[in-house]
C-alpha cells in the first residue's frame, strides 16, 4: 500500500517557511536596533514587522510539527515533538530542532512579559536569537530531506550571509560611551514603541 506524502510535503514546506520567517524576524530586529536605512524606515513600523514575522514563524513552526505528527513516512508521536532525541530519524539533529523550537517559543513569548522580567533581562534573552538561528540552520541542513538540493542550500547561504552582514553592521554602528546616540533605537524608545502596540 502506497503512503500519502501530503503531510510529509506539508512538514517540509512549513519547516523551510519557518526558517525563512525566523531569518526575516532576526533581520528586522537587527534593522530596528542599528537603523542602517536611517530615518527612511520608521522604528514603530519595523517593530510591528519584527513582531509580526516572529508570530508568522511560530505559526509555520506549528504547521511543521503538525505535518510531522500526521505523516506516515516517519512515525512521530507528540512526545517526539517536545522531548529532544525521541525521534528515530537523525535523532541528534532533530533534537536540535526540538530545542530550537522550544526556545523560539520562549523568546517570542518574552515580548508579552517584557515589563515583568525587566528590559535588561528581556534584552539578554533576545541574544538567544543568534543561537536559535544557528540551531535552526544546523537542524535544517543536517536533518532536512531537501538539504542536498541547490535551491535549499542557496536559501541557507543567503540567510546566513544576511544575518552575518546585518550583525556586522550592528557591531560597527554601536554607540561609543560618551557620544550622542543618533542611529540605534534606545531601550526607552523601544519600551515606548512596544507599549503603544
Residue 46 has what pLDDT? 78
193 within 8 A of 44, measured Cβ to Cβ: yes
Residue 101: Cβ within 10 Å count? 22
Quote the pTM value. 0.82
Q: What is the pLDDT of residue 48?
A: 84
Long-range contacts, 108-117 (Cβ 8 Å, 24+): 108/54, 108/55, 108/57, 108/58, 111/51, 111/54, 111/194, 114/191, 114/194
Intervals of the chain under pLDDT 70: 1-2, 33-41, 174-197
How far apart CA 29 and CA 178 sit, in angstroms, is 25
pLDDT of residue 41: 64
Residue 147: count other Cβ atoms within 10 Å of its Cβ. Answer: 12
**Cell numbers representing residue 46 in the block:** 519595523
Lookup: cell for 153: 542550500
Phi-psi category of residue 181: left, alpha or beta, with phi > 0 → left and psi -120 to 50 → alpha? beta
Q: How far is CA 10 from CA 81, 95, 143, in A?
A: 16, 20, 16
pLDDT at 169: 85
CA dihedral 158, 163, 165, 169 (to 10 degrees): 160
Amino acid at each position: 500500500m502506497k503512503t500519502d506524502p501530503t503531510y510529509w510535503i506539508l512538514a517540509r514546506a512549513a519547516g523551510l517557511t519557518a526558517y525563512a520567517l525566523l531569518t526575516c524576524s532576526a533581520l528586522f530586529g537587527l534593522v530596528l536596533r542599528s537603523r542602517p536605512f536611517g530615518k527612511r524606515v520608521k522604528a514603530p513600523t519595523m517593530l510591528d514587522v519584527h513582531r509580526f514575522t516572529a508570530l508568522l514563524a511560530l505559526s509555520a513552526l506549528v504547521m511543521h510539527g503538525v505535518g510531522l505528527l500526521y505523516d506516515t513516512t516517519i512515525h512521530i508521536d507528540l512526545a517526539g515533538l517536545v522531548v529532544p532525541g525521541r525521534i528515530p530519524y537523525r535523532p541528534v539533529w532533530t533534537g536540535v530542532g526540538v530545542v530550537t523550537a522550544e526556545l523560539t517559543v520562549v523568546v517570542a513569548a518574552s515580548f508579552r512579559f517584557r515589563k515583568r522580567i525587566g528590559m535588561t533581562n528581556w534584552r539578554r534573552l533576545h541574544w538567544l536569537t543568534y543561537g536559535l538561528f544557528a540551531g535552526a540552520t544546523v537542524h535544517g541542513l543536517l536533518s532536512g530531506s531537501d538539504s542536498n538540493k541547490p535551491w535549499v542550500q542557496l536559501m541557507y547561504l543567503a540567510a546566513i550571509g544576511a544575518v552575518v552582514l546585518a550583525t556586522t553592521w550592528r557591531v560597527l554602528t554601536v554607540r561609543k560611551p560618551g557620544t550622542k546616540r543618533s542611529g540605534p533605537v534606545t531601550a526607552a524608545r523601544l519600551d515606548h514603541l512596544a507599549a503603544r502596540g
